[in-house]
A and B are shown apart, each in its own frame.
Chain A
Amino acid sequence: MTNGTVTNGTVTTAAPAPAKKSGGIRDLGKMFGGGQSTLRQFGILIALIVIIVVFQILTDGRTLQPGNVINILNGNTYVLILAIGMVMVIIAGHIDLSVGSVAAFTGIVVAIALNRWQWPVPAAILLGLVVGLVIGAWQGWWVAYVGVPAFIVTLAGMLIFRGANQFVGNSTTEPVPDAFTWLGGGYIPDFGGGPFSNGTLVLGGIVALALIVQEVLLRRRQKRIGAERAPVWVSALKLVLLVAVVVAATLLFASGRPGTSFPIPGIIVAVLVIVYSFVTGNTVIGRHIYAVGGNWHAAELSGVKIKRVNFFVMMNMSLLAALAGMVFVSRSIASGPGDGQGWELDAIAAVFIGGAAVSGGIGTVIGSIVGALIIAVLNNGLQLLGVSSDRVQIIKGFVLLIAVGIDVLSKRSGGRSLIARFRRPGGDLGPEPSPATAAIINRPDIAPGASGAEASSRPPSTTPN
């Protein structure tokens, strides 16, 4: 009786949205793939650009000096790497508080392998990744198959692996050999001479070429399959913009002081971003992560193996935490007992500034990277201006609150973004709880698996009739 024709929200008055004409602004929207998350991501990207410009002015141009840019990149590699894993965890509706401790533990193990056991660098790196995988499998098992909420599992992990780091390393600092430091502080090889780093120029050229080839291939594929294509001028404009950014960045990194070129950590982050953007956006497992976070009931009834998805995201997070730990140890030429403290919070903040929803189902790798860069530039810029660290923290706190606050407010009106809200007042959605305000207990990490591996029961809220 509570069903039927009266169910509020299932019947909406809104007429189908007027057909959008092709051309003009609408086509511009296709530049970066169109879709709903585009506006949100543009917003974050614009925020980053504004922040950079503001600091560039306030610091009299010091912000965008090659040395400083390399410094921002290298100094924040760990956040960038962690944000990639964290956004997948958060999309699936979980959280990982253990990343800092896992990174620190991996760091000390790798440092000991290199320093005391004299392992070669590749073997030590492999060891570090295996450590990350094992820890991830451990935490993933608890979350996915036992059904303990990820918050608890990783809170325990935070304590366990922090303690393990200090236990293994005797709470002292373990140095790493020079051969290892390229991972976190090295540069791509250079050759020849001249005012610019030729290695960086070659790299920039390759990237620009790859972008052009990719766009051409995409258009060719779209044509073959008969899909709708953006007009040529949009593609061209997109390419011109992207290539301009690449050229500017190339010249920036290539014009640093002699001996520097594009940093290795930058390469690591770039590769991870490409790989994980592809995984989250274009693969079956990626779709399943969004499906579980968005509505795990529906996902389960669509044949998604929820436990596997949860296991994967948790394991993957620890693997990336291990990598972040190694890069950090490499850059600071030693592993210490205090490494990685507070990293989980940096990563989580980056992901939420980057547009992810607390209740899961929403978020992107690129968005989280931009979110991490916003924090990084803010940190760096305020330091350059001589703002003390206490005030820097206060400012960062407000930035996080305001960024997520804008998101929540824009959803409360029923629209997907502030812009949409102004365009169509009132919105045409049913009563949909704002993801960011949805209760944390509704998250899928608690419920599945409570009744054994085979028979899955639905929680009382969805008991039929």
Chain B
Amino acid sequence: MADAPHILEMRNITKRFPGVLALDDVSMRVRAGEIHAICGENGAGKSTLMKVLSGVYAYGTYEGDIVYRSEVQHFRDIRQSEAAGIVIIHQELALIPELSIVENIFLGNEPRRFGVINWAEAHRRAIDLLARVGLSDDPDTQVKNIGVGKQQLVEIAKALNKDVKLLILDEPTAALNENDSQHLLDLLRGLKGRGITSIMISHKLNEIEAIADSITIIRDGRTIETLDVTAGGVDEDRIIRGMVGRVLENRFPAHDGSSIGEVFFEVRDWTVQHPLTAERLVCKSENFTVRRGEVVGFAGLMGAGRTELAMSIFGRSYGTFLEGTIVMDGEEIRLPNVSAAIKHGIAYVSEDRKALGLNLLDDIKRSTVSAKLSKISTAGVVDDLEEHKVAEEYRRELRVKTPTVDEGVSKLSGGNQQKVVLAKWMFTDPELLILDEPTRGIDVGAKTEIYTIIRQLAERGVGIILISSELPELLGVSDRIYTIFEGAITAELPVAAADPETLMRGMTSNPHARKKEVA
């Protein structure tokens, strides 16, 4: 295997987005017929690299060369890369739920006879393809009626139909239960046996360790190293060291824990079900506490159930509530909807400020007051002068870079938009402020400003939950950290006792759960 020729070589790939260097001189080589894993923290550049490879970012929008099957490729779109045998399966599946399995497999690639779809031929081939991925379902079943695990397999069948030579899977097991994951990994091994090369992005290190032949580690848009698993000596610890090994920069405000008061917010046995899939629990009997003036970090990789936990607490905005209690200031409270949560002094800054945090058609001043209009209105009439005044105060306090609060929020940069979202929730006078990835997609300078704001709020006695997948951020800002993995809290650590390795361990495995052998 080690001597096998390289099917793919990405040389010195550099990809810039306005204001951000996403990939900085990344190189990697994939041998023919191997399973190659790519590891890295959220935002390290893994998905961007795969989008470059599959033509989502067209040739010319990046620097560097893609050498595939000994030729430099110039993919202009995903169709050209597919024609060359490179198929990418995204984390969010690209199947159409209302169509049947066979219709999905041949979508855009229908077997035709005289211009008419030859359904008999399609069925024959579909049954064959499904057998190759280990599915025995009727090809006429609607995709929405099969589970996520089988949908994943249908995606792979679809790829096989395109005569795939290099299969890219982005977090293929993130949404799967253990059985389905196991099945998928087995299938990948089977495909390897037939000479199909796979590149797999995953956060689940135990799976990677079990299945990968090589591992490329990416951090901050750079290739750190490529590990040869077949040569031995690679374990989870080794991977984790590569993923987090960086020096913590001094960009966090100092804090000594003097602002911390007593416990005022407590969540017990919090259990929530996925909104669509009944058998999936997104929160598995979670317990945690928050003290006044304390910043509590929640470390978890994407898909671990961090957002689900936060949103289900915030007025049951996500999933189906099964059981659990919330105790605030010694009394049990019910939060059946968002306005009840706001009334109890809970605020939630969502991870996706454009889709969930802001109305991009609105201006700064209206956005600032939008979560608690009652504060500046009498008998249902908004005092627009007061609104202007309040927005102006927050603009100054949070240093939002804008000529006027009449400006539309869509014209602001990411960091300034995030400050407006923060202002919006500070305006609700929260006692508990939940921040979900508050620095996602914003530049370093703005990040530091946001850390300072978080610490200032804590000084004032606000309890803060900080959800993040950036370990330096969690270690730099939090007083105490919980780790989450697959919907369960796996560890609780005071920040003094936490380091990147221990956190990453809690984020990628559950010591309390039954240890299941993946290999």
Question: Which of A14, A287, A462 is close to B356, meaning CB atoms less than 8 Å apart?
Answer: A462
Chain A residue with the shortest CB-CB distance to B23: A6
Question: Which of B20, B304, B321, B342 is close to A6, meaning CB atoms less than 8 Å apart?
Answer: B20
Check A3–B359 contact: CB distance below 8 A: no
A246 to B487, CA, bound (A): 66
- Verify if B71 is at the interface (C-beta below 8 Å from A): no
- Verify if A226 is at the interface (C-beta below 8 Å from B): yes
Chain B residues whose C-beta falls within 8 Å of the C-beta of A18 in the assembled complex: 403
Check A460–B382 contact: CB distance below 8 A: no
Chain B residues whose C-beta falls within 8 Å of the C-beta of A36 in the assembled complex: 363, 406, 408
Instruction: In the complex, identify which listed stretch (A73-81, A163-171, A290-298) lies at the interface while the others stay far away.
Output: A290-298
- Verify if B354 is at the interface (C-beta below 8 Å from A): yes
Minimum CB–CB distance from A442 to chain B (whole Å) comes to 12
Chain B residues whose C-beta falls within 8 Å of the C-beta of A460 in the assembled complex: 92, 276
Check B360–A295 contact: CB distance below 8 A: yes
Chain B residue with the shortest CB-CB distance to A414: B410
> Contact flags (1/0) for A397-430 with B, using CB distance below 8 Å?
0000000000000000000100000000000111
A465 to B306, CA, bound (A): 9
- Verify if A72 is at the interface (C-beta below 8 Å from B): no
Instruction: In the complex, identify which listed stretch (B28-36, B436-444, B453-461) lies at the interface while the others stay far away.
Output: B436-444
Given contacts A34-B406, A300-B317, contact A283 B381 (CB under 8 A): yes
Instruction: In the complex, identify which listed stretch (B159-167, B251-259, B325-333, B370-378) lies at the interface while the others stay far away.
Output: B370-378
Check A11–B414 contact: CB distance below 8 A: yes
Minimum CB–CB distance from A142 to chain B (whole Å) comes to 22
Check A282–B406 contact: CB distance below 8 A: no
Chain A residues whose C-beta falls within 8 Å of the C-beta of B356 in the assembled complex: 295, 297-298, 301, 462
Check B351–A11 contact: CB distance below 8 A: no
Chain B residues whose C-beta falls within 8 Å of the C-beta of A3 in the assembled complex: 42-43, 302, 351, 437, 440-441
Question: Which of B303, B304, B389 is close to A225, meaning CB atoms less than 8 Å apart?
Answer: B389
Instruction: In the complex, identify which listed stretch (A230-238, A387-395, A450-458) lies at the interface while the others stay far away.
Output: A450-458
Given contacts A10-B442, A299-B359, contact A222 B170 (CB under 8 A): no
Chain B residues whose C-beta falls within 8 Å of the C-beta of A465 in the assembled complex: 174, 302-304, 307
Instruction: In the complex, identify which listed stretch (B44-52, B204-212, B236-244, B510-518) lies at the interface while the others stay far away.
Output: B44-52
Check A303–B42 contact: CB distance below 8 A: no
> Contact flags (1/0) for B1-35 with A, using CB distance below 8 Å?
00000000000000101111010000000000000
Check A1–B18 contact: CB distance below 8 A: no
Minimum CB–CB distance from B507 to chain A (whole Å) comes to 13
A106 to B381, CA, bound (A): 31
Chain B residue with the shortest CB-CB distance to A456: B317
- Verify if A215 is at the interface (C-beta below 8 Å from B): no
Question: Which of B338, B361, B403 is close to A19, meaning CB atoms less than 8 Å apart?
Answer: B403
Minimum CB–CB distance from B125 to chain A (whole Å) comes to 29
Minimum CB–CB distance from A256 to chain B (whole Å) comes to 38
A73 to B317, CA, bound (A): 48
A19 to B404, CA, bound (A): 8
> Contact flags (1/0) for B340-356 with A, using CB distance below 8 Å?
01100000101111111
- Verify if B155 is at the interface (C-beta below 8 Å from A): no
- Verify if B138 is at the interface (C-beta below 8 Å from A): no
Q: In chain A between 278 and 329, which residues have their CB closer than 8 angstroms to a CB of chain B? A: 282-288, 290-291, 294-295, 297-303, 305
Chain B residues whose C-beta falls within 8 Å of the C-beta of A2 in the assembled complex: 47, 91
> Contact flags (1/0) for A15-58 with B, using CB distance below 8 Å?
01111100000000000001110000000000000000000000
Chain A residues whose C-beta falls within 8 Å of the C-beta of B134 in the assembled complex: none
Question: Which of B316, B320, B359, B442 is close to A294, meaning CB atoms less than 8 Å apart?
Answer: B359
Given contacts A7-B440, A17-B411, A465-B303, contact A284 B374 (CB under 8 A): yes
Check B363–A8 contact: CB distance below 8 A: no
Question: Which of B42, B315, B359, B402 is close to A291, meaning CB atoms less than 8 Å apart?
Answer: B359
Given contacts A1-B42, A3-B437, contact A8 B17 (CB under 8 A): yes
- Verify if B388 is at the interface (C-beta below 8 Å from A): yes
- Verify if A227 is at the interface (C-beta below 8 Å from B): yes
Question: Which of B20, B221, B382, B408 is close to A283, meaning CB atoms less than 8 Å apart?
Answer: B382
Minimum CB–CB distance from A441 to chain B (whole Å) comes to 13
Chain A residues whose C-beta falls within 8 Å of the C-beta of B15 in the assembled complex: 6
Check A303–B371 contact: CB distance below 8 A: yes
- Verify if B171 is at the interface (C-beta below 8 Å from A): yes
Check B22–A11 contact: CB distance below 8 A: no
- Verify if B319 is at the interface (C-beta below 8 Å from A): yes
Check A6–B45 contact: CB distance below 8 A: yes
Question: Which of A6, A303, A432, A451 is close to B43, meaning CB atoms less than 8 Å apart?
Answer: A6
Chain B residues whose C-beta falls within 8 Å of the C-beta of A11 in the assembled complex: 17-20, 413-414, 441-443
Between A8, A12, A461, the greatest number of chain B beta carbons within 10 A of the residue's beta carbon is seen for A12
Check A1–B441 contact: CB distance below 8 A: no
- Verify if A361 is at the interface (C-beta below 8 Å from B): yes
Minimum CB–CB distance from A429 to chain B (whole Å) comes to 6
Chain A residue with the shortest CB-CB distance to B316: A455
Given contacts A227-B388, A284-B380, A462-B356, contact A302 B370 (CB under 8 A): yes
- Verify if B103 is at the interface (C-beta below 8 Å from A): no
Question: Which of A283, A295, A416, A430 is close to B380, meaning CB atoms less than 8 Å apart?
Answer: A283
Given contacts A14-B413, A16-B402, contact A458 B318 (CB under 8 A): yes
Chain A residues whose C-beta falls within 8 Å of the C-beta of B370 in the assembled complex: 287, 291, 302
- Verify if B407 is at the interface (C-beta below 8 Å from A): yes
Q: In chain B between 406 and 457, which residues have their CB closer than 8 angstroms to a CB of chain A? A: 406-408, 410-411, 413-414, 416-417, 424, 437, 440-443
Check A225–B441 contact: CB distance below 8 A: no
Minimum CB–CB distance from A180 to chain B (whole Å) comes to 34
Question: Which of B44, B311, B350, B424 is close to A1, meaning CB atoms less than 8 Å apart?
Answer: B44
Question: Which of B48, B275, B381, B443 is close to A457, meaning CB atoms less than 8 Å apart?
Answer: B275
Question: Which of B44, B362, B363, B441 is close to A10, meaning CB atoms less than 8 Å apart?
Answer: B441
- Verify if B140 is at the interface (C-beta below 8 Å from A): no
Check B363–A35 contact: CB distance below 8 A: yes
Chain B residue with the shortest CB-CB distance to A461: B355
Chain B residues whose C-beta falls within 8 Å of the C-beta of A10 in the assembled complex: 353-354, 414, 417, 440-442
- Selected A-B contacts with CB under 8 Å, 8 pairs: A1-B302, A4-B43, A8-B18, A10-B440, A295-B359, A298-B355, A303-B339, A451-B275
- Given A6-B47, A290-B362; 12 other pairs, CB 8 A cutoff: A4-B440, A5-B17, A7-B17, A10-B417, A11-B414, A17-B411, A20-B404, A228-B388, A301-B317, A432-B410, A451-B320, A457-B276
Q: Which 7 A-B pairs have the closest CB atoms?
A: A4-B43, A464-B307, A294-B359, A457-B275, A465-B302, A10-B414, A303-B339
